[in-house]
Chains A and B, each alone.
Chain A
């Protein structure tokens, strides 16, 4: 019992620290990838090739003046960034990041907790993040923030539906909602082979869900200054930032688990396989961001409701038909 408790706490600490470090260094990776795509060098001053840049940024944000607008709803204003970060970090609790290891005769699964409705847990928590954005937009008492919050709310609700429907194909094939079961089902062949359309829909819908370019309508800097975080400064802004990048890591981890065989792979240790796959999925997100321009609002809504949603539904029907035909 005590062994289980200690192992659990150590796992939580490792995942928590790892996620925060990954979110911090993802900012550097993003800047470097952006620079490479635009034929620049990116941050080079702090440390070797800018390796200490995230730390420098963190220290800078920490010492910035903390400005709260005069008529802002103070409690909600301070609460909103936290609501963005916590669900993003908590989602990782059900994601298996390695094969079970044997320590002192006990089998420790490399997953904080194996919930048998893992996917539902992820979906429930990831839709909580929207509250942070909407509350932050409303509490700032600024028209830009409010408009950004409203836009983001509408966008996130629209794209949540194709996001969920794209996963159903995977659940049908795996026959289970538990993530560790889904990973073990992929030991022979990755689900991306069975579900290429589902993979693409999930990729697009999760990009929209995370408010990233080309779907960053909520913080369109050309129109809304900075959208829902216009009035935020100092550590509150940093929290929004961490939440945003932690969401990228978590969403990539979900993609790896659902479509790319999780931690499974030959020769190398399972955790390393998980990290390699994670890295490449993150690169795909960055690649998308620095390729496409922002969509117009009506285009965004058209794309979500008239294209992604029917496609996701068709994907489920086709998957079901093929499963019946193959008598699986």
Chain B
């Protein structure tokens, strides 16, 4: 039979029209796939990973030791670290080992005594540059940086996109 004729037969056309109606009545009773975004959030998978975050010890101190490995490995150069020393206050006595560490002499001048452990005085990740590759998490020897599940980042200026230590700890 001529296919063109078959396509144009009234029976064929009305059959196709009914198929269309059947499809829409089926989708009518489906659950909507959309949701009210700002009030309802997408349920992300447990292992979903997006932007990096900083981890802390149980006492709330940073795990990061400012080794600069992540800054070095970061492909888009999104991480900027400035290193400093942990400050334990005036009363703190230097340990035997620290007394032999002459690199601390200068710091003792300003009445700050340190145990010699480095920590980041500032740790910035530019989320506008970050490509979420996970190299920083992979290379970190202290498990101080890891990929979090925060994917909703929005800001008014580019500067707000640079997250400091506090924001990175708070982020999920």
Contact = CB atoms under 8 A, between A and B. Distances in A.
Interface of A: 33, 35-41, 44, 287-288, 290-292, 307
Contacts of B27: 36-39
Interface of B: 10, 17, 20-21, 23-25, 27-36
B34 A40 contact: yes
B29 to A, nearest CB: 8
Give the most central of B17, B21, B28, B30: most A CB within 10 Å.
B28
Contacts of A288: 21
A39 B30 contact: yes
A291 B27 CA distance: 11
B23 A291 contact: yes
A292 to B, nearest CB: 6
A292 B23 CA distance: 11
Nearest to A284: B21
A129 to B, nearest CB: 27
Given A287-B24, A287-B25, A292 B17 contact: yes
Contact of B34 (A33, A39, A287, A307): A39
6 contacts: A33-B28, A36-B28, A38-B27, A39-B27, A41-B34, A291-B21
Contacts of A40: 32-34
A291 B24 contact: yes
Contacts of B29: 36
Contacts of B31: 39
B32 A287 contact: no
Minimum-distance CB pairs A-B, first 8:
A291-B24, A41-B32, A39-B33, A291-B20, A37-B24, A36-B28, A40-B34, A37-B28
Contact of A292 (B10, B20, B32): B20
A288 B24 CA distance: 9
Contacts of A287: 21, 24-25, 28
B133 to A, nearest CB: 34
A287 B28 CA distance: 9
B164 to A, nearest CB: 36
A199 B96 CA distance: 101
Contacts of A39: 27, 30-34
A35 B32 contact: yes
A42 B64 CA distance: 48
A41 B40 CA distance: 13
A212 to B, nearest CB: 15
A51 B67 CA distance: 59
A36 B33 CA distance: 10
Nearest to A289: B24
B48 to A, nearest CB: 23
A258 to B, nearest CB: 22
Nearest to A311: B10
Contacts of B33: 39-40
A290 B24 contact: yes
Contacts of A41: 32, 34-36
A211 B29 CA distance: 27
A39 B31 CA distance: 7
A292 B22 CA distance: 12
Nearest to A200: B14
Contacts of A35: 32
Contacts of B35: 41
A205 B93 CA distance: 96
A37 B25 CA distance: 7
A47 to B, nearest CB: 14
Contacts of B21: 287-288, 291
A307 B8 CA distance: 12
A296 to B, nearest CB: 15
A44 B36 contact: yes
A38 B34 CA distance: 10
A272 B29 CA distance: 25
Contacts of B20: 291-292
